[in-house]
Structure 1
């Protein structure tokens, strides 16, 4: 398997949340789950304490990206990032924000340098990071910032939710609903669709993907009776994309595009705002959907849920979505590597 000598980089997430619980449980079940090797980037003392709290026999070993795979079979490899204060399960502390952010930064650094295969991020609590001066709306925007610095130019991230029966991306993400009509532009829709089409081909192996595009208003505007954005902003974007040879269609009423028969007609859907995309994604695959960031020079996945502070340290959190995120990131890395080889051979 391509890339099998490199581990995934798994970030710590908020140490007071369920991220550590999920990582420990996933490693414990690694054999039956057939998990790809991963390198945990976090505080070893916190992980040891959490394993003890959960009653999990998980040996820990300090590791680097170079020896993580070799150590993974007998212990959970950990690249140390020290917390400012001991983490208390269920009680977030903004004094640990710097370590949370550093874990993400290191994951990106290692993956950008091809020392790890992909970044898998555990959940963060944005309010905790905001209290420390974190200025980004969320993971997606911070990852794009790090990637843009490394690339030397601005990159546009696209959030893609991937579940067993649906792939869906919102055009606008972490903004109030009242700001969506003003933020929505023909260009943003075109740029989103281009990235989705490109990355579906290069990282998912879906060549010439079919992409359904939703409307913004009820009934996709009802010919202007329920709003003009569908005709004036979305329809021109679809026409431009079709002229470029990208297989898109719409705008579709969002209330009728997610039932089984409708989903059979496309490989991915693009919606105009956060909840329009995430409600069907989480309804159809609540426990095993994965958050994927497209448009970046590295692969990033994340479980499609939050920190769940109320479940931390209790052994009640399910690791389905984290496991799905790790498996998907490894599969995407393999597909991307194979696509690059085939492209190079075709040009030779």
Structure 2
């Protein structure tokens, strides 16, 4: 019965996955063909790093969009596969028939949840494996495995996301009892979780390592930006080679105090003319003259797989708790 009720959504999901697989396989083959062409040219010219950098630039935007699309897969699973699972039965009243047969409520729910959870995990596994394979040459060049979108769309993390979305959709339907509102609320909750996890939870899964970096004029020119709308003395986009930067302090003076905002703004707006030609012109040597430094928290790339396992385990643990709660509530409260 679970399969008969689920087979139409499963068929639609299989068709979408097949189309996505065809595109990802085509993209992966294109990337490998382009890589071979770049390597053939660069060996002759003797400048392979620049050629490989161009290869990564050619496909970075496309792969980022694909990762963003695949990031929506858990939300779609939760909305269209799992939110109606219980909500539709309660909304139409068919639960009165289903729960008065020889099968208990708990067994009914466990079988239905198991069916959808298994399908969700298989879809996420297939999509993640295909994108990971397609993007492998570019990922090896870019070295940004901890990038927010890339991390959540490759390897193990999508499996945990899909499981959590499935369990969350079922529990939401159990509470809301109306199919369309349950679908909408499930989508919002899943997207909120996928936003909170990389920004508020992932950086703290393991204690960060720290370093103090002197802000010379050359170091300041490596940044992506200076200041904020509130004129805070911050440097944006500081990187640590081979690591994921999770937190950067404000510009600090030699005694560890934040740089005065007026001094910072004077260097930005009224820096003495030195003829500096770096990214920020005369502002860089002006700031560097105040003997500044940054306290940087970071996670080395060697911890990538530990973060993947920890995050996936957290998703799966939350999924198990939600499923257990649904089984308890459907027996005692519905």
With structure 2 as the length reference, what TM-score do the two structures score? 0.25
Pick the structure with more helix per residue.
2
With structure 1 as the length reference, what TM-score do the two structures score? 0.24
Pick the structure with more strand per residue.
1
